[in-house]
Amino acid sequence: MDAETIPLRLGTRRSALAMAQSGMVAAEVTRRTGRPVELVEITTYGDTSREHLAQIGGTGVFVSALRDALLAGRIDFAVHSLKDLPTADPAGLCLAAVPEREDVRDALVAREGLDLEGLTEKCAGRAVRIGTGSPRRMAQLNAWAAARGVEVETVPIRGNVDTRIGFVHAGELDAVVLATAGLNRLGRSAEISEHLDPALMLPAPGQGALALECRADDTELAAALGALDHAPTRAAVVAERALLAALEAGCSAPVAALARWSGERELRLEGVVGTVDGATLLTMSTTGPLASHETVERQARALGLALAERLLAGGAATLMGERAR
């Protein structure tokens, strides 16, 4: 069989969202390279565990099985939600491409299509029950409620998109918060009651972006996948993940970060660290010009590290429940 007709094996989690994301990437890889791509479904620990992410360590639980399959040669490359990737670089693997980012915002899916303000009016006299498995979302929702003098109960939940939205349809919750990007990729954006502005709900580092990972020694495939790379997105997520790494935080910590371009050469990075109850949120930002194409990634990383240092100096470690350094 001709090498060009041998399918590339793309490793993916089994969830509907992961399959949708991987299918989109597979189609684009085939379009650009002419190579057929077959999806190889892999079950990760994060998919089978019933514990909340904060209990099972969060970062890496959706990734390690895919990486093991890559290193063992059972698949040729993998697609991850970039926010799930640990910040440490894995031995033997490379981040071949970060495609253009989807919508970074979080989304509210609520009963009767109500927004946050409408929910608080509808539920006057009792707490609005909002489901999310993310300490970051809990912290910012609780802070929003406290600032407005309304009652919100953040309820820890897990499960796929159908399961989470099902809690609302069954009347167990008034709303759930999900990533807009995931709902868009599943063709379910019509179910969104409200897009939560980053000023209210800053997203997770890397949210809305995908990561294409392959073996570092497969230079030919890495180069081919590199055609899907979107340099502005890569620089933005590098800054966000550098901040996250410097804070030594993962999915179990209430940390948010978002880098946005101002023109072609200036990147503005915002970071939030808080307590899950929302009693304290530490919010800071920084802006830096990124000079030349060759050093953009290095400068973006430096921007993230600089903001992390300021957050730590302001007490971020204590807020995250870590020993102050």
- Is the domain of 39 the same as that of 127? no
* Burial of residue 125 (number of CB atoms within 10 Å: 0-12, 13-18, 19+): exposed
Residue 6 lies in a domain: yes
pLDDT at 28: 96
- Is the domain of 214 the same as that of 241? no
Residue 29 lies in a domain: yes
Residue 295 lies in a domain: yes
- Is the domain of 220 the same as that of 91? yes
Domain containing 304 — which CATH number? 3.30.160.40
- Is the domain of 47 the same as that of 169? no
DSSP 14: S
* Burial of residue 156 (number of CB atoms within 10 Å: 0-12, 13-18, 19+): middle
pLDDT tens string, the chain, 325 residues long: the values are: 455 678 999 999 999 999 999 999 999 999 998 999 999 999 865 544 455 444 444 556 779 999 999 999 999 999 999 999 999 989 999 999 999 999 999 999 999 999 999 999 999 889 999 999 999 999 999 999 999 999 999 999 989 999 999 999 999 999 999 999 999 999 999 999 999 999 999 999 999 999 999 999 999 999 999 999 999 999 999 999 999 999 987 666 799 999 999 877 899 999 999 999 999 999 999 999 887 766 899 999 999 999 999 999 999 988 876 433 3
Q: Is the pTM of this model over 0.85?
A: yes
- Is the domain of 72 the same as that of 213? yes
Residue 23 lies in a domain: yes
Domain boundary among 174, 196, 218: 196
Residue 65 lies in a domain: yes
pLDDT at 324: 36
- Is the domain of 218 the same as that of 87? yes
CA 60, CA 71: separation in Å to the nearest integer? 16
- Is the domain of 188 the same as that of 174? yes
| 65 touches 42 (CB < 8 A) | yes
- Is the domain of 85 the same as that of 111? no
pLDDT at 248: 83
CA 219, CA 30: separation in Å to the nearest integer? 18
Within 10 angstroms of residue 262's Cβ, the number of other Cβ atoms is 10
Domain containing 122 — which CATH number? 3.40.190.10
Six-digit token string for 79: 């697609």
CA 109, CA 131: separation in Å to the nearest integer? 10
pLDDT at 46: 52
CA 28, CA 63: separation in Å to the nearest integer? 22
Residue 321 lies in a domain: no
- Is the domain of 166 the same as that of 259? no
Domain count for the chain: 3
- Is the domain of 222 the same as that of 244? no
Can you spell out the DSSP letters for 242-278?
A: HHHHHTT--TTS-EEEEEEEETTTEEEEEEEEE-TTS
- Is the domain of 238 the same as that of 258? yes
The residue annotated as part of the active site, out of 2, 47, 76, 84, is 84
Domain containing 66 equals 1-99+209-229
Residue 17 lies in a domain: yes
- Is the domain of 3 the same as that of 92? yes
Residue 264 lies in a domain: yes
The yes-or-no answer on residue 84 being catalytic is yes
